[in-house]
Amino acid sequence: MLAFLKRNKLPVLIVLAILVIAAVVVLVVLNAGPGGPAVYVQRVGDLQSDAGLSIGRYAGIVESQKIEKIKFDASKTIGAISVEAGQKVSQGDVLFTYNTQVMQLDVEAGQLEIDSLQATVTTNSEQIKQLQSERGSVEGADRLAYDAQIQQLQSEINSTNYQIKTKQAEIERLKKEIENAAVTSPVTGVVESVADPMNPDQNAPDVLVTVRNGGDLRVKGSVSEQNISNIYTGQSVIVRSRVDADKTWKGTIGAIDTGSAAAGEESMNGEGDSGRASFYSFYVELESSEKLIMGQHVVIEPNVGQSVDKSGIWIPSGFIQQEGDTCFVWARNSRGRLQKQTVAVQRYDEGMDEYEITSGLTLEDYIAWPDENCVPGAKTTTEYVYNEDEEAPPEEEDAAPEEDAPAEDVPAEEAPETDAAPETEG
């Protein structure tokens, strides 16, 4: 063999060189892939919706949907006010009463006036009888004079009788007002405010007491001026019990009151804002108020799917592609190249627009957002490359945390997730 190699040394070297070159060509072909830029891929574990999720939480209190405004008659004197703000009342409970002494004096004075008017009618009637008796004994111009006097007296009687009827109606009205001097609550609920009749509210000068109906309930929330941009009308929210965080109710923000503000309200963690910020009220319309009670303190948080049982792997729906009945994602293979990876999809979280992946991916896999650069064999990178029309974010600098974080009213650890699970899709 050695002799053979010595005699054929050159041909052997040529053959070995050809084999090496062929191996290199094969490796290059296998790893070359198509041309084009490297495709950005992300770790599946970093795409989980609970990774670094910060949810704003706001203080809330359960109240009635409807407010009854009980007005008073400014022409009367208030005798006594029987309720105060925050007091629970039932339908028919006395709220305030008018001073009936003045009305009683008016009744007595009116009766005296009626007696006087009736006496005038009696006197005029007797005069008419006397004139009619004397008229029969005269003729001509004298009889015409008697007729004029009788007509005058009869006109006075008619006018006086009208005054008597008017005064009697006024007396009856006063008597009814005396009987109904006590003004009662039209509903069962809680007294929200009691005005000063001597210094009424300029916006509602005739309203003395407001009662919040204890029927249909809603939740009144409070948000600071720094965080008011984080909520909007129509936003889906979750209302959570402060006593039992597993008890939740769903609702929608129906209104945000930006017309009036309160400074330095107490937050849900008991720390006042010391007048540093203004707070605004917003109102949540509930899908169901079962087991909620008037005056109950709750926590309000945007519904971003945090109430869904998110055990397992969940990825945004935009990563998932479909060919026929098969779902796939663009995933990085062991050679760092892009490939189609078949996945099994199950539940869908509408709030977060995510699907549960039951097979085909692990948390350590890397996947790409589908675009025109996603083709089998494409190079991949974990470094995001910004296009010319995109602006890279500024470098982060160490900074002190803000005093009013998005979760302004409740520390995140005080509101654990619930165990509620969404409906399962195919």
Q: What integer pLDDT is reported at residue 410 of this predicted model?
A: 47
Q: Is residue 52 within 8 Å of residue 372, measured between CB atoms?
A: no
Q: What integer pLDDT is reported at residue 35 of this predicted model?
A: 63
Q: Is residue 209 within 8 Å of residue 223, measured between CB atoms?
A: no
Q: What integer pLDDT is reported at residue 268 of this predicted model?
A: 41
- Residue 148 predicted with pLDDT over 80: yes
Q: What integer pLDDT is reported at residue 395 of this predicted model?
A: 52
What fold characterizes domain 33-53+308-382? Answer: 2.40.420
- Residue 412 predicted with pLDDT over 50: no
Residue 134 CA to residue 3 CA, distance in Å, equals 182
- CATH superfamily, domain 58-65+216-302, is Efflux pump adaptor protein, beta barrel domain (2.40.30.170)
Nearest to 312 by CA among 27, 49, 20: 49
Q: Is residue 356 within 8 Å of residue 345, measured between CB atoms?
A: yes
- Residue 390 predicted with pLDDT over 60: no
Share of the chain above pLDDT 90, in %: 44
Looking at per-residue pLDDT, the higher value among 33 and 60 belongs to: 60
Looking at per-residue pLDDT, the higher value among 67 and 27 belongs to: 67
Q: What integer pLDDT is reported at residue 413 of this predicted model?
A: 38
Looking at per-residue pLDDT, the higher value among 270 and 369 belongs to: 369
Share of the chain above pLDDT 70, in %: 75
Q: What integer pLDDT is reported at residue 271 of this predicted model?
A: 37
Please, which residues have CB within 8 angstroms of residue 272's CB and are 6 or more apart in sequence? Answer: 264, 265, 266
**Mean pLDDT value across residues 54-71:** 85
Q: What integer pLDDT is reported at residue 65 of this predicted model?
A: 77
88-92, 169-173, 389-393, range with the lowest pLDDT: 389-393
- 3-class secondary structure for 120-134? HHHHHHHHHHHHHHH
Nearest to 159 by CA among 132, 121, 129: 121
- Residue 11 predicted with pLDDT over 70: no
**Mean pLDDT value across residues 156-182:** 92
Burial class (CB in 10 A: 0-12, 13-18, 19+), 22: exposed
What fold characterizes domain 68-99+181-214? Answer: OB fold (Dihydrolipoamide Acetyltransferase, E2P) (2.40.50)
Domain positions in the chain? 33-53+308-382, 58-65+216-302, 68-99+181-214, 100-179
Mean pLDDT across the chain: 80
- Residue 416 predicted with pLDDT over 70: no
The two three-digit tokens of residue 58, written as one number? 């706001």
* Cβ neighbours around 198 below 10 Å, total: 6
**Mean pLDDT value across residues 294-304:** 88
- Residue 273 predicted with pLDDT over 80: no
Between β-strands 380-381 and 39-43, what pairing exists: parallel, antiparallel or unpaired? parallel
At 328-374, the pLDDT tens digits run 999 999 999 999 999 999 988 876 788 999 999 999 999 999 999 99
Q: How many residues does the chain have?
A: 426
**Mean pLDDT value across residues 244-248:** 85
The two three-digit tokens of residue 275, written as one number? 């007048």
Residue 415 CA to residue 56 CA, distance in Å, equals 11
